[in-house]
Structure 1
Amino acid sequence: MGGGRRVDAGAREYRSGMFRLEGYLAWEAEVAAAERDAARFVERFGWLSAGQRELVREAYQAQRLEFAEGVVDRAARRSRRVAEFYRRRCLSICTRWAGVCAAVVAATALLAVLPALLRG
């Protein structure tokens, strides 16, 4: 029996690691896109000195990444709220079903014993 728990824990750990890797890769792609877009943006300002273009590029990239981080944070908070809602909902449904099952078992037991009680 204990082996199944270890497999489940291993599978959860594997999925968790894959989600972390996916998040890391997605963020790195966002950083690369921000760098690329910042470089394209700053190309429009050929009259700026190299130092000024670098400052504009850095500011653009920082703002873009700050925005992306906000999007990710809001999505994560929403995801946690939705997961918590469904956890509570599932617990509520499971509790009701447990009550229904207990009532059915009790009624079945009563119906099984009732003829003997009436006879006797």
Structure 2
Amino acid sequence: MSGGTPVSTAEAINEIEGFLLWEAEKDRARIRAREFGDRLPWLTRAQRAEVERQYQADQLEFSRAYLRRTVARSGELRAEYEGVYRELRRRLCTAFLAAAVVLVSGVVTVAVALTGG
């Protein structure tokens, strides 16, 4: 919940999922940093700690930037697909109404013909 505003169940689940995914990403960055440090055996303990800290920070910044791009692109795609859906729905309604007009016209024509009018 943010700012005392009620949050729906779906929003709460999304928030929890986001938190858990980010925690997992932090763990992956920490592991990658440790593995990177393992490849530099000549570093002192302090140097290695600093290299790993910097590497982890770089990895997390990369992940943040990637996620921001992904979120932005997801929003663009959502807007695009919603537009396509609206257009398809409009076309379907137009086709349905046209078919109904043709059907009603046909029924009226047959009824007039049968009544001899």
Q: TM > 0.5 between the two?
A: yes
TM-score (norm 1): 0.72
How far 1:108 moved relative to its partner?
1.8
* Structure 1 partner of 2:108: 113
Give 1:79's match in structure 2, choosing from 57, 61, 74: 74
Give 1:53's match in structure 2, choosing from 48, 73, 82: 48
Identical columns (%): 28
Q: C-alpha separation between the residues in 1 aligned to 2:57 and 2:98?
A: 61
Aligned residues: 108
Unmatched runs of 5 consecutive residues or more in structure 2:
1-7
TM-score (norm 2): 0.74
Structure with a larger share of its residues in helix:
1
Q: C-alpha separation between the residues in 2 aligned to 1:43 and 1:97?
A: 62
Q: Does 1:64 align with 2:64?
A: no
Q: C-alpha separation between the residues in 1 aligned to 2:22 and 2:29?
A: 10
What is the Cα-based RMSD across aligned positions, in Å?
2.4
Q: C-alpha separation between the residues in 1 aligned to 2:39 and 2:91?
A: 64
Letter matched to residue 36 of structure 2: F
